[in-house]
Amino acid sequence: MSLTIYSTLSGKKEVFEPREPGKIGLYVCGITVYDYCHIGHARVLVAFDVMSRFLRSQQWNVNYVRNITDIDDKIIDRAADNGERYTDLTSRYIEFMHEDERALGILPPDTEPRATAHIDDIIAMIETLIEKGYAYSASNGDVYYRVSRFADYGKLTNKDPEQLLAGARVEVDSAKEDPRDFALWKFAAEADVGWISPFGRGRPGWHIECSAMSKACLGAHFDIHGGGPDLPFPHHENEIAQSEAANGCQYANYWMHAGAVRLDGEKMSKSLGNFFTIRDVLKQYHAEVVRYLLISSHYRSPINYSEENLVEAKAGLDRLYNALRGYESVAATSLEELAGNEFYKKFVAAMNDDFNTRVALAVMFDLVRALNSAKGKQEAEPLVAELKAMGQLLGLFGSAPDDFLQSAGESDLAAETVEALIAERAQAKRDKNFARADEVRDQLLAAGILLEDSAEGTKWRRDA
């Protein structure tokens, strides 16, 4: 089955056609590093992590580039508020970002360019835009992009420039030729953060950074550009205008945007002050539960962040892990061996259909039902191996089943306490003190501990 992708540019699903056979150049707008990453960031990071994992499993040669914005007004302002150098601030939050990514099982991109390492590329692109008449130096020392010069401005969001102006949050600035024009280079005094350029001392605007970094890493024209739900306008419209004007060719063939994370129906964002950082959430929930929540919906669909949905995600992941219990020694089937398997073919079909993880997970639950009906280990083990292989493509099953099912939150009974109570219950049963055995079971149940007795002994897990 061919890979189909929904492109924001066309507003429909398209059969993916690579620029080079078997190869995919993927650029994703990354984090502006001045604070901890929140769950909205995690949505984007996990979505494109799943995509790159799957594409590679299907023998695509993926060059995944995800940038870091390490120079920006917010960064400079936060560093000034803290009384520290901006480089110290960004270094600290880059490490925090990497810690969060590792916790969520997000693999690093192939290349992670930083804006400050590409100042020469940024200056060169601005020079080209000035030479071609698409940019101009203003009286205030800034350099602006001349929006009226680019005939296709607004094609990504399918609105004309006049409509886009209403949502642009354009500041009144008499130095601009047109209120819609945006900064490519911002003047910086000697005491401020800045670099020397042919158009004066300053620093780059946000939009030009990605145009320069993507070109440096993937070339002027590449396959897929991705990002979060808040980026189509103005950031990605401006990237297109800059890049296509400077380079004289199409910028990216496909544009992909992850859906928003909402809290009580409102978009979650730092500007609204209603966001949860990844590390705060991970204090209460296992990282795989958070990852599962983020892939349980299609990547383009909005997700409502709530305790109820996290509990539901925990329950779903419990079912998958519970099916693997007792099969810890069974290895995941190699993808070559899976090629003809019916469950795997359905899984691949779902993922080839614009990375539909919701349907892919449904296939995995169909497989669990078949596994639960299997007669004996000989019939069950191939199904377990297939389930593990699918889970790994989604970045799941990073823990042993018991480790996951028995993992504790801050307020839960410690595993050692649970084990001691189970041992006490077993001794009470041997002593025929069934009243005490029942008391212990009820005590554990009240603490959210479910017991499963069998001939091999008692297994336990925490209730979702």
SS3 letters for the chain? CCCEEEECCCCEEEECCCCCCCEEEEEECCCECCCCCEHHHHHHHHHHHHHHHHHHHCCCEEEEEECEECCCHHHHHHHHHHCCCHHHHHHHHHHHHHHHHHHCCCCCCCECCEHHHHHHHHHHHHHHHHHCCCEEECCCCCEEECHHHCCCCCCCCCCCHHHHHHCCCCCCCCCCCCCCCEEEEEECCCCCCCECCCCCCEEECHHHHHHHHHHHHHCCCEEEEEECCCCHHHHHHHHHHHHHHHHCCCCEEEEEECCCEEECCEECCCCCCCCCEHHHHHCCCCHHHHHHHHHCCCCCCCEECCHHHHHHHHHHHHHHHHHHCCCCCCCCCCHHHHCCCHHHHHHHHHHHECCCHHHHHHHHHHHHHHHHCCCCHHHHHHHHHHHHHHHHHCCCCCCCHHHHHCCCCCCCCCHHHHHHHHHHHHHHHHCCCHHHHHHHHHHHHHCCEEEEEECCEEEEEECC
Q: Give the burial class of 234: count Cβ atoms within 10 A of its Cβ; 0-12 exposed, 13-18 middle, 19 or more buried.
A: buried
- 428, 215, 399, 418: which is closest to 318 by C-alpha? 399
- The answer to whether the annotation marks 386 as part of a ligand binding site is no
By DSSP bridging, strand 261-263 and strand 266-267 are: antiparallel
- The answer to whether the annotation marks 270 as part of a ligand binding site is yes
Residue 195 Cα distances to 199, 201, 202, 209, angstroms: 10, 5, 5, 14
CA distance 44 to 121: 26
- The answer to whether the annotation marks 217 as part of a ligand binding site is no
Cis peptide before 401 (omega within 30 of 0): no
- In the annotated binding site for ATP, the residues are 270
- In the annotated binding site, the residues are 29, 210, 235, 239, 270
- In the annotated binding site for Zn(2+), the residues are 29, 210, 235, 239
